[in-house]
A and B are shown apart, each in its own frame.
Chain A
Amino acid sequence: MNLVNNRFWFFFISLLVISPGIVFLIIAPGLKPGIDFTGGSSMTLLFPETVQISQQDLRDELTFLDFSESTVQNMGDNSFFIRTKELNEEEKDNLINNLTIKLAPNTTPDYVLLQGFDLVSPVVAQETILNAFWAVLAAAIGIFFYIWWAFRNVPSPFRYGLAAIIALIHDVIIVIGIFAILGETMDIEVNTMFLIALLTVIGYSVNDTIVIFDKIRENVLLYANRPFTEIVNLSISETIGRSINTSFTLLITLLALILFGGTTIREFLIVLLIGVIAGTYSSIGIASQVLVTWEQRHIPIPFRKK
């Protein structure tokens, strides 16, 4: 199995996966920012089982109540996530009462259960965006320098650091792209939890890349006179079993959590799920291939005679 000479295909597949996400990111509004980034209020309301309500009913009612800027998401089991402008205590109570009177008329407000309420002021939202930016940047720089240092015994350790960062950016773009699509099609918003998940994906992606790089590091020193392409190829095939097994165990647990865990952090887990798949793929298909391409300074095109 010569994975390295087929690296065009890896880059091509990545491009194929990334492109739709990029398109959605560019088409406004791209990612749907949640209140953590914009400020405002959000609440999760659980309506009694006896009441039949659709997402559209709630939307219409909110527009009628002069909350036309609101978004509504159906969480299943008659539970709805509603996002509005910043509400104070009184406005919150009024809104819940009005919705109850209109949509669940024969119940009392106590039966429409407020499962969760969030409020974020614009000041905090502004800081979150800034801090998120710095956090991602700091994580990338920290990891880059660590890898550079950890691979100081092999030729051009700098490349390993940069290749890992490229793979990491690749994974982040895939996750963000998919969430831009989900935001557009299913009104899924990104919030602080999304950021945490993204940083976790960064951690995992690098962790996975390092395992292959470690093998390359070992083999470069072991077989100093073999061509670099061959060494990378050998290292990938030696570690691929571990890569697949590790992602497999992680995917099992993540799937168990998605299927049997509550809905509260489902989006968070979906980010991890996509991230683990992307991270495993990018270690083999991007990070290692970037190293080879850099060494050889060209990308082989398939079907072209050499």
Chain B
Amino acid sequence: MRRNFRALILIAILVILSATALGVQKISVNGFERGGDTLLGLSLGLDLQGGSHLVYQASLKDPETGSPVSVSVDQMESLVKTIERRINSSGLGEPIIQILGNDRLLIQLPGITDSGRAKSLIGETARLEFKHRVTKVDPVLIDTITAQDIISVKADDWRADGKLVSELNPADINENTQSIVTFPGIIVEFSDSGSNTFEKLTLALEDSLTAAIEYSQKGDLRPPDVLNVNIEGDEVLRFSIAGGRIEQIENSNRFMILLPTNSGDVTNSILTSSEANQKIGATPQLSFELLKGYTDEYIGLSGDDLESAYPSQHQTSGAPIVNIEFDDRGTKLFGELTTAIYSQKQVTGQEDQIAIILDGEELISPVVQAPITMGTAIIQGADFTIERVKDLSLLLESGRLPVPINLIQERDVDAILGADSLKKSVTAGIIGLSLVLLFMTLYYRVPGLVAAISLIIYALMVLTLFKMIPITLTLSGIAAAILSIGMAVDANILIFERMKDELRVGRTTLSAINIGFSRAWPAIRDGNVSTLITCAILYWFADQLGASIVQGFAMTLAIGVLMSMFSAVVISRTLLRVLVSTPLSRNVRFFLPYSGEKTTKNQSSDN
């Protein structure tokens, strides 16, 4: 009896502890924090509160051979930190980031509604490079177009509707076409391969011009690339042209290179086509040179060398600025770069820049005002606003992803759907559980009622464990919890069936309880161990896949199964034993669900 009493006290303490743990929404003791604003403070999975589940694969390639290189643990950890900081500073909520296996990242973003923004923030292959922008470049001979590629060179006039004046048909000349302007130029016929090369060159020149115009509209003067045309015929004819001054004659390998219409050409005169033809003569040698507006030279300084970047305000002017800090290697390289640019400006007056390029796109290209050898610098800009410096800092920081990553799995759940699923599951769970408890009580009478009470205690304790460990509750986890309630019921049913057997052969209620429990135990144990084996395998399976939903399910089921054994073997048994010591136990009918009279008969005949 004393043993029963002690067990009863233990159960009471467990119930009170559980109820308190669940009742208090948020628990915080000495840095141990559990709970939150959710239902009972349980941590909810993405399918119940909405959010994004993203799995990224980190892949590193050898820059020279292009073969895959394994990613180090350090790189993975710094990847986690970078992404964590990026999402945290964006106000998208707190991400849960986990490394899966060697080279995968699981990023969970609970409650977010805009997965697109999160994904662009995480940045697929964002890489930051610092380059030396050389603003004065020597022209380079284009050696991919050789003498063999050039079939003919002569001067002609090009009409703005795309036709050559010397090749006009009578049909091309009428009242309407009289007024179309014409331009003098050099018509060059290329071989097939030469034509291809030249067409690409033409397009590149046009792109460069477009970019230069765009920059100039922002007040940033940046010269476009130009093509130097060099013809050595009877006389030398040299001129430079920018993009948009070359026209391909339709369906041919011929290109019209328009002559400069101002004094910008080398010969300092405006030529007509006949004048040009005189210079070209019969055996001209044609070559091209590309004069880049600027080049960005690789200096080996990348986002890896950047320690941090953060927005602030200029100490004296108060203007928004970006602060950058380099690590040791970065400090050295950045020092060399700024010193070189600064001293060149002092000597030759040529003002080079630092091009900061993120993922192939230029972020900003500041000039150098002084050599910076201490590793910390500020970037100022006339158009800098508080938002702009904040974004710039974030982007600079984001360039520090040590390893390129790509998305291999995504699961987004709308928050409304999640809340709806939670509400419905809870309702369904309560209905199901009530029906089970009702059935147990009606069918098994007093033991059934005891089982019902121990099941409620069981549910309390399982929920407490979920909250304290904590285990993230998902939809499938709820299903697992319900399945484990089934297991707990099963354990009780097994015991009661055994008890009934013992009662039928005429044992006293107390010994029937004791024998019933010990007889039922092997079946409960073996059945549950096999379920635990399945759980362990599910857990492993989920670990391989990064399927946190599956993992949650396995954990939930395992805890449920273990607790169900505890509930049946400790709680139900103690409660029943205590009950037996009361006058209730004298009426065996309370313990036998049906055919009570038959039992009495058995009892008397056995005696």
A252 to B439 CA separation, bound complex (whole angstroms): 10
A161 → chain B, closest Cβ, in Å?
11
In the assembled complex, which residues on chain B have CB atoms less than 8 Å from the CB atom of A119? 407, 409-411
Q: Are B409 and A121 in contact (CB under 8 A)?
A: yes
A141 to B443, CA, bound (A): 38
Residue B408 interfacial (CB < 8 Å): yes
The interface bits of chain B over 447-491 (1 if a CB of A lies within 8 angstroms of the residue's CB, else 0) are: 000000000000000000000000000011001101101110110
**A207 pairs with B527, CB closer than 8 A:** yes
Residues of A with C-beta under 8 A to B397: none
* Pair B421/A246 contact, Cβ less than 8 Å: no
Nearest residue in A to B443 (C-beta to C-beta)?
A245
B116 lies within 8 A of A131 (CB): no
Q: Which of B509-556 contact A (CB under 8 A)?
A: 519, 522-523, 526-531, 533-538, 540-541, 544-545, 547, 549-550, 553
Partner among A132, A200, A215, A265 whose Cβ is within 8 Å of the Cβ of B557: A200
Q: Which of B413, B476, B522 contacts A265 (CB 8 A)?
A: B476
Chain B interface, number of residues (Cβ within 8 angstroms): 71
Q: Tell me which of B439, B476, B545 contacts A128 (CB under 8 A).
A: B545
Q: How far is the CB of B93 from chain A (nearest CB, A)?
A: 18
Determine whether the beta carbon of A116 is less than 8 Å from that of B417. yes
Q: Which residues of A contact B530 (CB under 8 A)?
A: 143, 146-147, 203, 206-207, 210
- Return A256 CB to nearest CB of chain B, in Å: 3
Which A143-192 residues have a C-beta within 8 angstroms of B?
Answer: 143, 146-147, 150, 192
A269 to B115, CA, bound (A): 29
Q: How far is the CB of A199 from chain B (nearest CB, A)?
A: 5
Partner of A268, one of B411, B433, B476, B535: B476
Instruction: Flag whether A295 is at the interface (Cβ < 8 A).
Output: no
Using CB atoms, name the residue of chain A closest to B444.
Answer: A245
Interface secondary structure of B, over-half rule: helix
In the assembled complex, B432 has its CB within 8 A of some CB on chain A: yes
Chain B contacts for A255, CB-based, 8 A = 432
Closest-CB distance, B475 to chain A (whole angstroms): 5
Beta-carbon contact of B545 and A124 below 8 Å: yes
CB contacts (< 8 Å) of B541 on chain A: these are: 131-132, 134-135, 199
Q: How far apart are B366's CB and chain A's nearest CB, in angstroms?
A: 32
> A127 at interface (Cβ–Cβ under 8 A)?
yes
Beta-carbon contact of A204 and B476 below 8 Å: no
Asked whether A260 lies within 8 Å of B428 as measured between CB atoms, the reply is yes
Chain A residues lying within 8 Å of B527, measured Cβ to Cβ, are 206-208, 210-211, 214
CB of B94 within 8 A of chain A?
A: no
Question: Could you tell me the distance between the alpha carbons of A142 and B533 in the complex, rounded to whole angstroms?
Answer: 7
Are B439 and A192 touching (Cβ within 8 A)? no
Q: Provided the pairs A89-B116, A210-B523 are in contact, do residues A253 and B435 lie with their beta carbons within 8 angstroms?
A: yes
The verdict on B149 contacting chain A, using a C-beta distance below 8 Å, is no
Rounded to whole angstroms, the CA-CA distance of A139 and B557 in the bound complex is: 15
Is there a chain A Cβ closer than 8 Å to B323's Cβ? no
Contact stretch, chosen from B77-85, B137-145, B493-501: B493-501
Q: Is A123 an interface residue (CB 8 A)?
A: yes
Q: Are A142 and B545 in contact (CB under 8 A)?
A: no
B-facing residues in A249-306 (Cβ within 8 Å): 249-250, 252-257, 259-262, 264-265, 268-269, 272
**Is B416's beta carbon under 8 Å from chain A?**
yes
How long is the Cα–Cα vector from A234 to B75 in the complex, in angstroms? 64
Residues of chain B within 8 A (CB-CB) of A117 are: 115, 410-412
CB-defined interface of B308-344 with A at 8 Å, one 1/0 digit per residue?
0000000000000000000000000000000000000
Q: Which among A121, A127, A203, A241 is the interface contact of B544 at CB below 8 angstroms?
A: A127
**A264→B475 contact, CB < 8 A:** yes
Q: Is A248's CB within 8 Å of the partner chain B? A: yes
Quick one: given A211-B523, A257-B429, A268-B479, are A203 and B535 in contact (CB under 8 Å)?
A: yes
Given contacts A143-B534, A192-B550, contact A256 B412 (CB under 8 A): no
- Bound together, the chains give a CA A252 to CA B440 distance in angstroms of 12
A131 near B412: Cβ-Cβ < 8 Å: no
Give chain B residues whose Cβ lies under 8 Å from the Cβ of A238: 501
A203 to chain B, nearest CB (A): 4
Q: Given the known A-B contacts A139-B533, A142-B537, A202-B534, are A116 and B483 also in contact in the complex, defined by CB atoms under 8 Å? A: no
**Chain A nearest Cβ from B44, distance in angstroms:** 14
**Contacts A123-B57, A207-B530 known; A199 to B537 CB distance under 8 Å?**
yes
Q: How far is the CA of A254 from the CA of B482 in the complex (A)?
A: 8
| Interface status of B47 (Cβ within 8 A of chain A) | yes
Query: Chain A residue with minimal CB distance to B113?
Result: A114
Q: State A128–B489 Cα separation when bound (angstroms).
A: 34
Does B401 touch A at the CB level, under 8 Å? no
Interface presence of A103 (CB below 8 A): no
A102 within 8 A of B: no
Interface string of B113-149 (1 = CB under 8 A from A): 0011001100000000000000000000000000000
Within 8 A of B (CB), among A48-83: none
Q: Does B427 contact A (CB under 8 A)?
A: yes
Q: A121-B409, A249-B486, A272-B479 are in contact. Are A139 and B424 (CB under 8 A)?
A: no
CB neighbours (8 Å) of B547 from chain A are 192
- In the complex, A113 Cα to B493 Cα: how many Å? 46
For residue A138, CB closer than 8 A to chain B, the reply is: yes
Q: Is B97 an interface residue (CB 8 A)?
A: no
A240 to B148, CA, bound (A): 95
Do residues A245 and B436 form an inter-chain contact, with CB atoms below 8 A? no
B119: chain A residues within 8 A (beta carbon):
89
Is A115 an interface position by the 8 A CB rule? yes
Chain B residues with CB under 8 A of A250: 483, 486, 489
Inter-chain contact B420/A262, CB cutoff 8 Å: yes
* B431 located at the interface, meaning its Cβ lies under 8 Å from any Cβ of chain A in the complex: yes
| Contact in complex: B408, A253 (CB < 8 Å) | no
Smallest distance from the beta carbon of B557 to chain A beta carbons, Å? Answer: 7
Chain A residues whose CB sits within 8 angstroms of the CB of B493 once the complex forms: 242, 245-246, 249
List A residues 198-223 near B (Cβ within 8 Å): 199-200, 202-204, 206-208, 210-211, 213-215, 217-218
With a CB–CB cut-off of 8 A, which chain B residues contact A121? 407-409
Q: Which A residues are CB-close (under 8 A) to B230?
A: none
B55 CB-CB contact with A under 8 Å: yes
From B440, B475, B526, A214 is in contact (CB under 8 Å) with B526
Cβ-based interface call for A196 (8 A): yes
User: Does A22 belong to the interface (CB within 8 Å)?
Assistant: no
Q: Are B414 and A116 in contact (CB under 8 A)?
A: yes
Please report the C-alpha to C-alpha distance between residue A266 and residue B547 in the assembled complex, in whole angstroms. 19
Residues on the A chain within 8 Å of B443, using CB: 245
How far apart are the CA atoms of A134 and B490 in the complex, in Å?
29
Expressed in whole angstroms, the Cα–Cα distance for A124 and B54 within the complex equals 12
The answer to whether the Cβ of A17 comes within 8 Å of any Cβ in the partner chain is no
CB distance from A51 to the nearest CB of B (A): 18
The answer to whether A124 touches B55 (Cβ under 8 A) is yes
Of the candidates A215, A241, A253, A261, the one whose C-beta lies within 8 Å of that of B433 is A253
Q: Please tell me if B425 contacts chain A, counting CB pairs below 8 Å.
A: yes
Q: Is A99 an interface residue (CB 8 A)?
A: no
The reply to whether the CB of A95 lies closer than 8 angstroms to some CB of chain B is no
Given contacts A115-B413, A199-B534, 10 further A-B contacts (CB under 8 A): A135-B541, A142-B537, A146-B529, A207-B531, A242-B493, A253-B436, A253-B482, A257-B482, A261-B424, A272-B483
Q: Which positions in B face A, CB cutoff 8 Å?
A: 47, 55, 57, 115-116, 119-120, 407-414, 416-417, 420-421, 424-425, 427-429, 431-433, 435-436, 439-440, 443, 475-476, 479-480, 482-483, 485-487, 489-490, 493-494, 497, 501, 519, 522-523, 526-531, 533-538, 540-541, 544-545, 547, 549-550, 553, 557
23 CB-based A-B contacts, threshold 8 Å: A44-B417, A113-B416, A116-B412, A124-B55, A132-B541, A138-B537, A142-B537, A192-B549, A193-B549, A199-B537, A199-B541, A208-B527, A210-B530, A211-B490, A217-B522, A249-B486, A250-B483, A252-B435, A253-B432, A260-B428, A261-B421, A264-B47, A272-B479
Which 8 A-B pairs have CB atoms at the shortest separation, nearest pair first? A253-B432, A256-B432, A214-B523, A119-B410, A260-B428, A203-B534, A207-B527, A135-B541
